[in-house]
Amino acid sequence: MTASEVHRTVDALWRMESPRLIAALARMVRDVGVAEELAQDALVTALQKWPESGVPENPGAWLMAAAKRRAIDHLRRNKLLERKHEELRQEIESGGMGAVPDVDAGLDDDVGDDLLRLVFTACHPVLAPESRLALTLRLLGGLTTAEIARAFLVSESTIAQRLVRAKRTLAEAHVPFEVPRSAERAARLASVLEVVYLIFNEGYAATAGQDWLRPALCEEALRLGRIVAELAPHEPEVHGLVALMEIQASRTRARVGPAGEPVLLLDQNRALWDRLLIQRGFAALVRAEALGAARGPYVLQAQIAACHARALVPEATDWAQIAGHYAALARIAPSPVVELNRAVAVGMAQGAQAGLDLVEVLVAEPALQGYHLLPAVRGDFLFKVGRRAEARTEFERAAALTRNEPERALLLARARACCE
């Protein structure tokens, strides 16, 4: 294997394994910043050794072992108790710490799960909300600074500064690496849910790169969401988020064409939708609704997803009901993105011109100036009302804004179709 092939392999492996590496190391060294550095050291070692020795049969386990050896060296350098060193060595030799976290065991042990500990630690109230989100996406989701910046619609330098400050703040405050109990856990729950959903969204529609989907992120978000739902069984928003992710994830096979190209919702073969995930989503939504509280943002979004899931063909979609859900969402969690989604639903329910009228109001919205879906949606409505030259311009602008290659190709194809 050539050095360039090893680099590609290591890069892909880092995407998949870095959250577990960092989480396991953070449990050992009790410092997420140090844990990230140790994990990256193991990655550098792989880049140095694998071009000559070849990629190991189980590269993830190799990286974990290498990273833990560095963690032990770090602990020794900091003169921790020899007994702790021996305990750590025994755990490594027995394979106990290298095992994949077991969900059921985690629940029995009040969440004995390193990844979930990492989420709650990064969501500590000592950090500002935007720093909590950025740090957890970096550590748990394995996202780059650029990808996080894209998700937040802010500059890369802003995210880089947040990450540095967040890790320094956690270290200086000596924040314990643990899942908090009772009242403190509830106080952090909203941030945890937001982080889990952002990770899911990055997997559902990657902000950048060659892949339209990153299924591993969706699976990780779902796994964490299900655990949190068992931790907080009386919180409707937790079950609402799980319902939303289950239903959205059910479309995975239908969202990608034979060549890896994106397939939009109305063009998807709904026979490929995973009915088991849909039923799980419906069950979680029923559980959320049965709690009787006022509908929160995740419950409302889950109800929107459920409307799509119930329609066996696109023509059966109840767009009026979806528009009503978006209107309710806009009242309790107003944002330009929600308004853009509401415009799409209104356009489907009442006609393209009605949707276009709502989109035109958003054109000058500062937060959407770099958001590629604004010109994409506007282009779609312009095409439907017969203003094809303008539609082409909007699709081309959307293509220039996106950093996801399959999505760019789709938008450029739509621009070309305006001339046919």
Q: What is the CATH number of the domain that holds 349?
A: 1.25.40.10
Confidence of residue 98 (pLDDT cuts 50, 70, 90): very low
Report the run of H or E that residue 22 belongs to, with start and end.
helix 3-29
Least confident of 70-79, 102-111, 270-279: 102-111
Q: Does residue 9 sit within a domain?
A: yes
Q: Which amino acid is at 25?
A: L
Between 380 and 209, the more confident residue is: 380
Q: Which of 99, 117, 144 is the last residue of a domain?
A: 99
Q: Does residue 343 sit within a domain?
A: yes
**Could you tell me how far CA 416 lies from the centroid of its own chain?**
32
Please write the tens of the pLDDT for every residue from 11-38.
777 777 888 888 888 888 888 888 888 9
Highest mean pLDDT out of 13-17, 95-99, 113-117, 170-174: 170-174
Q: What is the pLDDT of residue 380?
A: 97
Average pLDDT rounded to a whole number, residues 181-188: 76
Please answer whether residues 294 and 313 qualify as being in contact, where contact means their C-beta atoms are separated by less than 8 angstroms: no
Q: Which amino acid is at 137?
A: L
Q: Does residue 413 sit within a domain?
A: yes
- How far apart, in whole angstroms, are the C-alpha atoms of residue 349 and residue 128? 40
pTM confidence score: 0.74
Q: Does residue 238 sit within a domain?
A: no
Which residue in 302, 120, 253, 87 sits closest to 196, CA to CA?
Answer: 120
Average pLDDT rounded to a whole number, residues 182-204: 84
The pair phi, psi for residue 403, each rounded to 5°, is -110, 10
Question: Which domain, by its residues, includes 375?
Answer: 318-420
In the three-class reduction of DSSP (H, G, I as helix; E, B as strand; rest coil), residue 256 is classed as strand
Q: Which of 99, 130, 161 is the last residue of a domain?
A: 99
Please answer whether residues 382 and 388 qualify as being in contact, where contact means their C-beta atoms are separated by less than 8 angstroms: yes
Q: Residue 246 has which token pair?
A: 């289950």
Q: What is the pLDDT of residue 87?
A: 62
Q: Does residue 214 sit within a domain?
A: no
Looking at the predicted structure, is the pLDDT value of residue 103 above 50? no
Report the run of H or E that residue 208 belongs to, with start and end.
strand 208-209
Q: Does residue 77 sit within a domain?
A: yes
Looking at the predicted structure, is the pLDDT value of residue 82 above 60? no
User: Which residues is 262 bridged to in the sheet?
Assistant: 256
Please answer whether residues 70 and 38 qualify as being in contact, where contact means their C-beta atoms are separated by less than 8 angstroms: yes
Average pLDDT rounded to a whole number, residues 347-372: 96
Q: Does residue 281 sit within a domain?
A: no
Assign residue 368 a region: left if phi > 0, alpha if psi is -120 to 50, beta otherwise?
A: alpha
Average pLDDT rounded to a whole number, residues 266-294: 95
Burial class (CB in 10 A: 0-12, 13-18, 19+), 364: exposed
Q: Residue 29 has which token pair?
A: 């060294």
Q: What is the pLDDT of residue 331?
A: 97
Q: What is the pLDDT of residue 298?
A: 97
Q: What is the pLDDT of residue 153?
A: 67
Q: Does residue 284 sit within a domain?
A: no
The total number of structural domains that make up the chain? 2
Least confident of 80-84, 129-133, 375-379: 80-84
Please write the tens of the pLDDT for every residue from 213-244.
888 888 888 988 998 888 788 999 999 999 99
Which residue in 117, 94, 100, 102 sits closest to 28, CA to CA?
Answer: 117
Q: Which of 80, 99, 118 is the last residue of a domain?
A: 99
